[in-house]
A and B are shown apart, each in its own frame.
Chain A
Amino acid sequence: MSSREDILGRVRAALHRNAGNAAVAREVMAAALANRHPGPQPAVVSEPRALLERFRLKSEVASSTVDVVATDADVPAAVAKYLGAMRLPTSAVAWASLGALDWVGAGLKVETRGARDADLVGITGCFCAVAETGTLMMCSSPDTPAAVSLLPETHIAVVRASRIVPYMEDAWNLARAELGSLPRAVNFISGPSRTGDIEQTIVLGAHGPYRVHLMIVEG
């Protein structure tokens, strides 16, 4: 007997499984999968201005830094300003979806491709953002590779204010509506990577980025 049959067989026996109760349980299971509903949620005000403010506040609690700009066109200059102020390199790897911005005009050398170990700055967008916890939702695809937000020491993420939703459950609904099924990797990111494994002292920059800078675009 295969291990699969052995394990499932013992589970079935323990649950007194028979054709009758299996049919009932299958209906209950189908209903649970069809009628998905959120559990209790903490209050989050869903008015746009309040959402932006909550997202900003919670992101800062998670040790991200936040900048707000008016339009997409303002992003390259704001990124250049941040990198300059932090004395960080001016070359970066970015998602293809951000390739059309005028990076050269802002004095930056930005390549759109997958990330490599030597990349020090990674610039991404995000699928949406969750106000409850100050969290970015990243969906992987050929144009939005996961490693760009992981390998570089600095991660800069462009967040459209209109894509800030109250809860993670709203993010799932957006993904179902816009993508149909889940991409290979959904990564929720809340601030720079960290560890507390030595004396429970939090250190930023464990294996992923040391810093996460959010560029919220209002327009």
Chain B
Amino acid sequence: MEIKSMRFKANAEASLANVVLQGNLKNAKGKFVTKRAEAIKEIDDFEGTRDAAAAIRNKVIDNLDLWLERFENRAQETGAQVMWAKDGAEVCRLVTEIARKHKVTKVTKSKSMLSEEAGLNQALEAAGIQPVETDLGEYILQVDNNEPPSHIIAPAVHKSLDDVADLFHKVHGTPRKTEIPALTREAREVLRGHFLTAEMGLSGGNFLVAETGSVALVTNEGNGRMVTTLPKVHVVITGIEKVIPTLEDLSTLMRLLPRSATGQSISNYFSILTGVKKPEEHDGPEHLYFILVDAGRADVVGGEFHEMLRCIRCGACMNHCPVYQTIGGHAYGWVYPGPMGSVLTPLYAGIENSIDLPHAATLCNQCGVVCPVKIPLPDLLRKLREKQTDAGLRPLTERVGLRVWAWVAQRPVLYGLGARLGARYLKWLAGEDKSIRLLPAVQEWTRGRDFPAPQGKTFRELYAARQKSAKESQQ
């Protein structure tokens, strides 16, 4: 997928000014948050379960080479073929080759964010193979001129019922429907035909189980089951970081993933697929391929951002992020939005291509608190900011400003004087309404918000005064 993250500021401003989008975001706001809060109450030891999940992920990532070999070995024993792809282009090449080999004309797809990274649909179309997205949200986007997803769990969350009603009326040529069940039924009927005729099914993988050589898929709609049951070929595309050790570990992670994602105790369907169909079986693929994808992941192993590899793609961080909730997912400009995206995009698509993303956070740590595998997202965002500054990627004024601040902050008397002057200046600037509409030095920042003015005294002045009065009252 084309990276548009360099235009983050302009995109975010456009999103803020988009009345329809703001209405849709407001409508969606909080629904996942409330459901998650209810669902995690069912887990007696939620913190302990998060710790266990983080430990499971660490166990593999700390020895990823060996676990990958082990998974590959087991998968091959079950009759699957294992392939490796360095980047998105290689994913596209391998999938096209597999499709050609089996004379495939149509591919039904269950949701795969990695295929979005790779731009797989465009590559298949160019090769004369029809890709059909079958997750309802992804389908809505595909028939709307291949619009990119704005959320990793709810890809079309930025669209309203009206948007979908107009869209289906236009692309299906059917009478305009205004009820959500009727629109869902319409998509079901269109897609059922594709499920039955596609020669190849393509899915992502929530987890790869080293113990059994299986892929685990978490779905609700049943489309994941369709594309892995009906076509004669099944291709799994996953990142190399998705391996977990055992089925018991899978159960632990499954207590957290649906609850963190949609607030469900368990997803409707949870499929663990191992090997190919036996000759006497009625259904299942005759050929199973795993494509294990690097695309930036290998270079994160063992480094200062390795904790990000624990991510299980639940979307809780974006559901709880005040920035994401205000601007929506498209502004982030690549596949992954929200806090996890602001870490992943610089790592996978280039730190120089996503200068503003690590700054698109208030560091409020809502994301860190809700992350089921305890990824310290604010710490990672801060590390990315440091890296940008070290690499000279931030604007000169900001770098000089930080230097000056650091020099002053190391001189307490000077710092105290500066703070006193600043606080009084801001109080004077705010005047009677006690809030600052425009601060010349940070115009970009005050354009979107009012800044409550200091009341004239600094923290150190107030602290000194309190100490003094405490001492007097003791005497």
Task: Give me the interface of A with B, judged by CB distance under 8 Å.
Answer: 2-4, 6-8, 10-12, 14-17, 22, 25-26, 28-29, 32-33, 36-43, 58, 61-62, 113-115, 117, 133, 135, 140-142, 145-147, 150, 167-169, 172, 181-201, 203, 205-209
Please state if A3 and B90 are interface contacts (CB–CB under 8 Å): yes
Partner of A190, one of B156, B160, B268: B268
Please state if B42 and A186 are interface contacts (CB–CB under 8 Å): no
Please state if B265 and A133 are interface contacts (CB–CB under 8 Å): yes
Partner of B221, one of A22, A40, A113, A206: A206
Q: How far is the CA of A36 from the CA of B29 in the complex (A)?
A: 40
Q: How far is the CA of A112 from the CA of B159 in the complex (A)?
A: 43
Interface check B344, CB cutoff 8 A: no
Q: How far is the CA of A88 from the CA of B191 in the complex (A)?
A: 23
Interface check B312, CB cutoff 8 A: no
Contact (A2, B220) CB under 8 Å given A150-B229, A184-B284, A195-B136: no
Interface check B222, CB cutoff 8 A: yes
Please state if B276 and A184 are interface contacts (CB–CB under 8 Å): yes
Majority DSSP secondary structure for residues of A touching B: loop
B268-300 interface code vs A (CB 8 A; 1 in, 0 out): 111111111110111110000000101000110
**Distance from B401 Cβ to chain A, minimum over Cβ atoms (Å):** 35
Please state if A3 and B86 are interface contacts (CB–CB under 8 Å): yes
Please state if A182 and B272 are interface contacts (CB–CB under 8 Å): yes
Please state if B284 and A185 are interface contacts (CB–CB under 8 Å): yes
Q: How far is the CA of A167 from the CA of B245 in the complex (A)?
A: 19
Partner of A38, one of B252, B277, B283: B252
In the complex, which residues of chain A have a beta carbon less than 8 angstroms from the beta carbon of B298?
7, 10-11, 14
Please state if A7 and B248 are interface contacts (CB–CB under 8 Å): no
Partner of A185, one of B31, B59, B212, B229: B229
Please state if B251 and A167 are interface contacts (CB–CB under 8 Å): yes
Interface check B164, CB cutoff 8 A: yes
Interface check B195, CB cutoff 8 A: yes
Q: How far is the CA of A179 from the CA of B184 in the complex (A)?
A: 38
Q: Nearest A residue to B279 by beta-carbon distance?
A: A142
Please state if B180 and A39 are interface contacts (CB–CB under 8 Å): no
Which 10 A/B pairs are nearest by Cβ-Cβ distance? A208-B222, A114-B282, A39-B252, A206-B221, A14-B302, A197-B137, A193-B222, A39-B52, A207-B222, A145-B282
Q: Nearest B residue to A6 by beta-carbon distance?
A: B86
- Looking at A17, A33, A40, the one whose CB has the most chain B CB atoms below 10 A away is A40
Please state if A200 and B281 are interface contacts (CB–CB under 8 Å): no
Q: How far is the CA of A11 from the CA of B65 in the complex (A)?
A: 6
In the complex, which residues of chain A have a beta carbon less than 8 angstroms from the beta carbon of B44?
40, 42-43
Q: Nearest A residue to B160 by beta-carbon distance?
A: A199
- Looking at A36, A135, A185, the one whose CB has the most chain B CB atoms below 10 A away is A185
In the complex, which residues of chain A have a beta carbon less than 8 angstroms from the beta carbon of B64?
11, 15
Please state if B280 and A142 are interface contacts (CB–CB under 8 Å): yes
Stretch from B66-74, B352-360, B368-376, B383-391 contacting the other chain:
B66-74
Range class of the B interface residue count? 35 or more
Interface check B267, CB cutoff 8 A: yes
Q: Nearest A residue to B253 by beta-carbon distance?
A: A39
Partner of B220, one of A115, A142, A194: A194
B77-89 interface code vs A (CB 8 A; 1 in, 0 out): 0000000111000
Please state if B221 and A194 are interface contacts (CB–CB under 8 Å): yes
Please state if A188 and B271 are interface contacts (CB–CB under 8 Å): yes
Contact (A28, B245) CB under 8 Å given A199-B27, A203-B180: no
Please state if B154 and A196 are interface contacts (CB–CB under 8 Å): yes
In the complex, which residues of chain B have a beta carbon less than 8 angstroms from the beta carbon of A203?
180-181, 184
Interface check B18, CB cutoff 8 A: no
Please state if B251 and A142 are interface contacts (CB–CB under 8 Å): no
Interface check B157, CB cutoff 8 A: yes
Please state if B63 and A25 are interface contacts (CB–CB under 8 Å): yes
Partner of B283, one of A7, A29, A145: A145
Q: Nearest A residue to B162 by beta-carbon distance?
A: A199
In the complex, which residues of chain A have a beta carbon less than 8 angstroms from the beta carbon of B275?
184
Q: Nearest B residue to A188 by beta-carbon distance?
A: B270
Q: Nearest B residue to A10 by beta-carbon distance?
A: B298
Contact (A28, B268) CB under 8 Å given A40-B44, A197-B156: no
Interface check B36, CB cutoff 8 A: no
**Distance from B92 Cβ to chain A, minimum over Cβ atoms (Å):** 13
Give 19 pairs: A residue, B residue, CB < 8 Å, sorted on A. Answer: A2-B84, A4-B84, A7-B240, A33-B246, A37-B248, A39-B52, A39-B53, A115-B282, A135-B270, A140-B283, A147-B283, A172-B247, A184-B278, A187-B269, A194-B220, A198-B136, A198-B183, A206-B221, A208-B222
Contact (A150, B184) CB under 8 Å given A10-B299, A145-B281: no
